[in-house]
Every structure is written in structure tokens, then in C-alpha cells.
């Protein structure tokens, strides 16, 4: 399993699917290998539920994922981790690992969007099965240094441009 973080959420409207981009924390091999990303398509409501969990906004009344976490908490259980376990085109499968009050682990089948919404609300780690990442992941060349360089180039451009250039 590879530990991943949610890199970005691409929100779409209407019939166009939204996408959740997961990026691995460490590269597949030692050295300077680029990190890989995994894109999971989902509906706009599901993407919004994940986004709201990341934002940490608290609605006046609990939404479904908040309700589920409150129920787990009331029972003395918690979300231990979330795993993206397999891909059968075009569907990804996920498992939510729960830890009960006795320390026993329970694995629950879930849609990746629901599992990710629970993970961000409970601060649980997210993992992707190696085979899923190997077969469906893409190389992510984005690094913090490259992003910083890009910001500096844009800043230089913004300072040099004048209204007459348009």
C-alpha cells in the first residue's frame, strides 16, 4: 500500500464528472523518482462532500458523513484508515478500516468518495493498493520547488506587463 494525500479536487457541474486527485507521499523507488498521482472520477455532490470535509466547515445540522462519524464515536469506534483497494473499469473500490472500542479492526466496503469524505473528517490516513497505483497512476512532476519557481516567473511577468500590452 502507498500512502497518499488528496492533492486537488476538480469540481464539475452537470453531467461532467468531478475528479479527486490523490498523490503519493513518497516515490515508488528510492532516489529522485517523480511522485505518482491517481485520478478518481466522482459526482459533483460527492466531490463537494470531500471538499467540505477538508475545509473543516461545520454545517448547522450534520450531513451524512458527519452523522456516520458521530455514530461511530458514540459506539466507541473510529476510522483507522481508508484504502483504495482495486479497480474494475470504470469503478474503483475502497475499504474503510474501523477500530472498535475493544481494539478489533473491521473492514467495511465503501465507495471511494464516501471513504475519502470520512477520511478527511476523521483525519485518517489514505492508502492506495500498489497494483492500483501501478496500473492507473500517472507521474506527477509537480513539486513544491517547481511551483515556487512558477509563482516567481508569473510575478515577474505581472510586474512587467502594462495595459498597453493588451
In the prediction, which pLDDT does 119 show? 97
DSSP bridge partners of 87: 92
Which residues contact residue 42 at a Cβ distance below 8 angstroms, ignoring those fewer than 6 apart? 17, 18, 19, 20, 112, 113
CA distances from 109 to 63, 93, 163 (A): 20, 8, 56
Q: Which three-class secondary structure state does DSSP give residue 74? A: helix
In the prediction, which pLDDT does 128 show? 98
Could you tell me the three cell numbers for 91? Answer: 469503478
Q: Inter-axis angle of helices 44-55 and 112-122, to 10 degrees?
A: 10
Q: Tell me the pLDDT band of 28, cut-offs 50, 70 and 90.
A: low
pLDDT digits (tens, 9 = 90+) for 127-152: 999 999 999 999 866 555 566 777 77
Q: Hey, what domains does the chain have and what are their CATH numbers? A: 2-165 (3.10.690.10)
Q: Tell me the pLDDT band of 10, cut-offs 50, 70 and 90.
A: very high
Neighbours of 3 (CB within 10 A): 13
pLDDT digits (tens, 9 = 90+) for 47-100: 999 998 888 777 888 889 999 999 999 999 999 999 999 999 999 999 999 999
**Burial of 100 from C-beta contacts in 10 A (0-12 / 13-18 / 19+):** middle
In the prediction, which pLDDT does 107 show? 98
Amino acid at each position: 500500500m502507498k500512502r497518499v494525500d488528496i492533492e486537488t479536487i476538480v469540481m464539475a457541474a452537470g453531467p461532467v464528472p468531478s475528479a479527486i486527485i490523490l498523490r503519493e507521499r513518497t516515490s515508488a523507488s528510492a532516489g529522485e523518482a517523480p511522485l505518482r498521482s491517481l485520478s478518481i472520477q466522482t459526482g459533483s455532490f460527492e466531490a463537494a462532500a470531500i471538499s467540505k470535509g477538508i475545509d473543516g466547515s461545520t454545517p448547522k445540522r450534520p450531513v451524512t458523513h458527519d452523522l456516520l462519524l458521530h455514530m461511530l464515536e458514540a459506539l466507541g469506534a473510529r476510522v483507522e484508515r481508508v484504502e483504495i483497494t482495486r479497480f474494475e473499469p470504470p469503478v474503483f473500490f475502497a475499504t474503510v478500516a474501523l477500530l472498535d472500542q475493544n481494539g478489533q479492526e473491521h473492514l467495511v466496503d465503501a465507495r471511494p468518495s464516501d471513504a475519502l469524505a470520512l477520511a478527511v473528517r476523521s483525519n485518517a490516513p489514505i492508502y492506495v493498493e500498489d497494483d492500483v497505483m501501478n496500473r492507473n497512476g500517472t507521474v506527477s512532476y509537480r513539486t513544491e520547488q517547481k511551483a515556487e519557481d512558477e509563482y516567481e516567473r508569473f510575478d515577474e511577468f505581472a510586474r512587467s506587463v502594462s495595459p498597453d500590452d493588451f
